[in-house]
Amino acid sequence: MLTRIDHIGIACFDLDKTVEFYRATYGFEVFHTEVNEEQGVREAMLKINETSDGGASYLQLLEPTREDSAVGKWLAKNGEGVHHIAFGTADVDGAAGDIRSKGVRVLYDEPRIGSMGSRITFLHPKDCHGVLTELVTSADPTSAEH
Amino acid sequence: MLTRIDHIGIACFDLDKTVEFYRATYGFEVFHTEVNEEQGVREAMLKINETSDGGASYLQLLEPTREDSAVGKWLAKNGEGVHHIAFGTADVDGAAGDIRSKGVRVLYDEPRIGSMGSRITFLHPKDCHGVLTELVTSADPTSAEH
């Protein structure tokens, strides 16, 4: 059902400085950047490796675009660090329904648009041993605009 | 240099309950368990996918074996959640030396033994935008005992 670690979401105060840290320290390059106004974040995706299900694993660096966004509030409370983890699936709707039926709270009624045109939802961290957990179905690679 | 997300380390109060959560909710199975007395943890590795460098990505669930271990202290302060992230490399010694030369604090003078006979070191989270970051070189797969 869930076939890869899709990404690790890392909250930061200054996206450009954090991108530069990952480039200078490890050689990781930016694969994609975007602003997601609904989520209130400016983000950079760093592709780390490809995965056995035909996808890839990324670091997702997140800077809030407003203080009252979820990431903005989280940063004010926790400081910089790992904000969430994301598993990739071919069927985010089916996976979310299955997981909801097991009593885990799914935060959206329907998946929303995430990075690179993906469809995403989140699971409540209190139901997941403290880990804010995202489910991701990538956009059709033949239609994705990178 | 760093060629994969090797694992996400998740600290928990009760390893058996957390393993059961990941099995029941997502279908993830335990690939390996061990006790690392030096690190003061009992751990379970859940293999999520294989990676394009010939390795794999895991969730590493960690329960402290004593309150004064690093993970025990972290849990007491933060509660359950993502404790660290780990990048895989063919050469942890070279990677650690290179990263140290860039001014990032490497926590061990020499790599130590991690999960499944790997060799590991950690980078100071304050030098890594709040992320406790591990570097891992897997054991020779022909000699690894799983």
Q: Strand runs (DSSP E) across B1-146, as ranges?
A: 2-11, 30-36, 41-50, 56-64, 81-89, 112-113, 119-123, 133-137
Q: Which residue has the tokens 């994969």?
A: B4
Tell me how far apart the alpha carbons of residues B106 and B92 are, in angstroms, rounded to a whole number. 11
Which of the residues in chain A have pLDDT under 70?
141-146
**Interface contact flag, B79 A8, Cβ < 8 Å:** no
For residue A102, the chain B residues in CB contact (below 8 A) are 24-25
- The active-site residue out of B39, B43, B63, B83 is B43
Task: List the structure tokens of A132.
Answer: 């804010």
Can B84 be counted among the known catalytic residues? yes
Q: What is the mean pLDDT of chain B?
A: 95
Can B7 be counted among the known catalytic residues? yes
Cα distances from A24 to residues A62, B84, B95, B109, in angstroms, run: 18, 20, 13, 22
Q: Which residue has the tokens 């600290």?
A: B11
Domain ranges of chain A: 2-137
Which residue in B14, B20, B2, B9 sits closest to B115, CA to CA? B9
Q: Tell which of B5, B19, B31 to mutate to test the A interface (max A CBs under 10 Å).
A: B5
* Residue B143: pLDDT over 70: no
Tell me how far apart the alpha carbons of residues B101 and A32 are, in angstroms, rounded to a whole number. 28
* B64-89 tens-digit pLDDT: 999 999 999 999 999 999 999 999 99
Q: A25-29, B59-63, B137-141 — which is least confidently predicted? A: B137-141
At A145 the pLDDT is 46
* A33-70 tens-digit pLDDT: 999 998 899 999 999 999 999 999 999 999 999 999 99
For residue B27, the chain A residues in CB contact (below 8 A) are 1-2
Specify the amino acid at residue B20.
Answer: E
- Give me the half-sphere count of Cα atoms (radius 13 Å) on the Cβ side of residue B47: 13
Q: What is the ipTM of this complex?
A: 0.95
Give me the architecture of the A2-137 domain, per CATH: Roll (3.10)
* B81-116 tens-digit pLDDT: 999 999 999 999 999 999 999 999 999 999 999 999
Can A38 be counted among the known catalytic residues? no
Tell me how far apart the alpha carbons of residues A57 and A44 are, in angstroms, rounded to a whole number. 13
Which residues 56-75 of chain B have a CB within 8 Å of chain A? 57, 59
Instruction: Give the number of other Cβ atoms within 10 Å of residue B119's Cβ.
Output: 19
Can A60 be counted among the known catalytic residues? yes
**A vs B: CB pairs below 8 A:** 110
CATH of B8-137, one of 3.30.1330.60, 3.30.70.100, 3.10.180.10, 3.90.1010.10: 3.10.180.10
